[in-house]
Chain A
Amino acid sequence: MRMTRIVGAATAALLCGAVAGGLHGCATSPSDAETAARAATALKASFNARGQAGLDRLDQDETQKVCSEYANRPLPASVAEKIQQVNLATIRYPADGTLVGDWKNGEKIAQSGQGFQFSDDPKVLAGANCYACHQLTPQELSFGTIGPSLYRFGKVRGFTDETRKYAWGKVYNADAFAACSNMPRFGHSRILTEQQIRDVVALLVDPASPVNQ
C-alpha cells in the first residue's frame, strides 16, 4: 500500500511537472498546496470504515489526485494527455475477443445503482447506474444529464468493430478518452465484471437494443 502511494505521488508530480516545470507541482500557490494537504489529512480523520467501505477509499491514485488539484481550474492539454495515456494503458480487452453480450441484461445493469456503498450488500453484483447520468432507451424518462445522451449510440456511430471497441474502452476506463471524466472507470476500478461490461456494451451497440431504435 505504502509503495503504491509513493509511486502515485511521484507520478502526480511528474504529471504536473510537465506543465508547471517547478517543484510546487500543480498548486497555484504554496498555501493552496498546504491547504490541500491539510484537507486530505482532515478528511481521513473524519470517516469511519463501514460495511464494505474501508478508509482506503480515501487514498487517491495519481489520476484522482491530479484531477482533484485541477478540478477548480482549467486542465492543461499536456496534463490531460498524460492522464489519458496512463489510463489508456490500463484497458484490458477480453481474451476471447467477445465484446458484446446481452443488451437485456445490460439494461438491468444500466438501471441499477446498487454496489460499493457502505449500505450495499457486497455479495450482490454492482450496477453501473448509467441512467443516473445518461439518456439511453427512449422508454426510460427518468435519466440524468451529467453525461451526454447515448440514445442511438450504435446507430449514429455505425455497428462496426471500431464502435464496439470504443464502447468497451469507454466503459472500462473513461479517463483514457477524456481526462478527469466524471464517469467511473468501471473496468479499471473493478466495479463491473468482464461479462457485465459486455452486456452494457451490447445495450449501446447491439442493433436490436432499444437504444438503437
Chain B
Amino acid sequence: MDTTRRHALKTGGGVTLLTLLAAAGWLKPGEAAAEDWNKAAFETKSMDETMKALGGGAPATSADIIFFSTPDIAENGAVVPIGITSKIANTQSIAILVEKNPNMLAAVFDIPAGTDTSLSTRIKMGQTSNVYALVKADGKYHVASKEIKVTLGGCGG
C-alpha cells in the first residue's frame, strides 16, 4: 500500500484510482452530499497511473458486472450507448470510465437501496478505447472492462 502510494507520488501528475475514489466520496462512510461534484475525480487523466496505484486496494475483476446494449463498435464516438448491470450484492455505486478520453471518469451513479443495480446511458469517446464499469459494493470495488472501437462513418468529408 505504502509503496504504491510512494510510487504514485514519485511519478506525479496522474491521479491514482484511490485518490479518485476518495475524492468521489467512495472511501468515506455514508453517502456523498447530493449536490457535490468532485472536480478531482473528473479531472483524472491517466488510466496507467490509476492502475499502478491499485495495489492492495485494486478493484477485483468481476464476472458479475455485465455490459448490456453496449456495442463492440460505435459508428460515432459522439454517442456511445453503455448499459451496465451489477449482480454483486449490496451494490452502492456504478461508475463509467473511458481509458483514452482526455478525462477518464465519465459518470458516477449512486444507487440507493430499492433501485435496480442496472442502468443505461450514452457517453462520448474520442477514440477506440477500453471502457470500465467500476462497482462499489459493501465498501469494496469491482471492475469489468470492454473494448469499444470507434469508427469513422459516412463520407468522411
Contacts and interface: CB of A to CB of B under 8 A. Distances in A.
A127 B156 CA distance: 10
B151 A129 contact: no
Interface residues of A, number: 13
Nearest to B149: A141
Interface in B139-155: 149, 151-153, 155
A113 B155 contact: yes
Interface in A97-136: 111-115, 117, 120, 127, 129, 131-132
Contact of A113 (B149, B151, B157): B157
A115 B157 contact: yes
Interface residues of B, number: 7
Nearest to B151: A142
Contacts, number: 23
A193 B157 CA distance: 19
Interface centre among B151, B152, B153, B156 (most CB of A within 10 A): B156
A111 B151 contact: no
Nearest to B150: A142
Nearest to A126: B157
A112 B151 contact: no
A142 B156 CA distance: 10
Contact of B157 (A117, A141, A142): A117
B152 A132 contact: no
B157 A114 contact: yes
Main secondary structure of the interface of A (DSSP, over half): loop
A142 B75 CA distance: 10
Contact of B152 (A117, A120, A142): A142
B153 A129 contact: no
A132 B149 CA distance: 19
Given A141-B151, A142-B151, A111 B156 contact: yes
Interface string A161-199: 000000000000000000000000000000000000000
A131 B155 CA distance: 9
Contacts of B149: 141
A131 B157 contact: no
A117 B155 CA distance: 12
A142 B149 CA distance: 11
A134 to B, nearest CB: 13
Interface in A75-96: none
Interface in A123-156: 127, 129, 131-132, 141-142
Contacts of A112: 156-157
B93 to A, nearest CB: 35
A127 B153 CA distance: 16
Contacts of A114: 157
Contacts of A129: 155-157
B127 to A, nearest CB: 13
Contacts of B156: 111-113, 129, 131-132
B155 to A, nearest CB: 5
11 contacts: A111-B156, A112-B157, A113-B155, A113-B156, A113-B157, A114-B157, A115-B157, A129-B156, A131-B156, A141-B151, A142-B153
Nearest 3 Cβ contacts at the A-B interface: A113-B157, A113-B156, A142-B151
Interface of B: 149, 151-153, 155-157
Given A112-B157, A127-B157, 13 more contacts: A111-B156, A112-B156, A113-B156, A114-B157, A115-B157, A117-B157, A129-B155, A129-B156, A129-B157, A131-B156, A141-B151, A142-B151, A142-B153
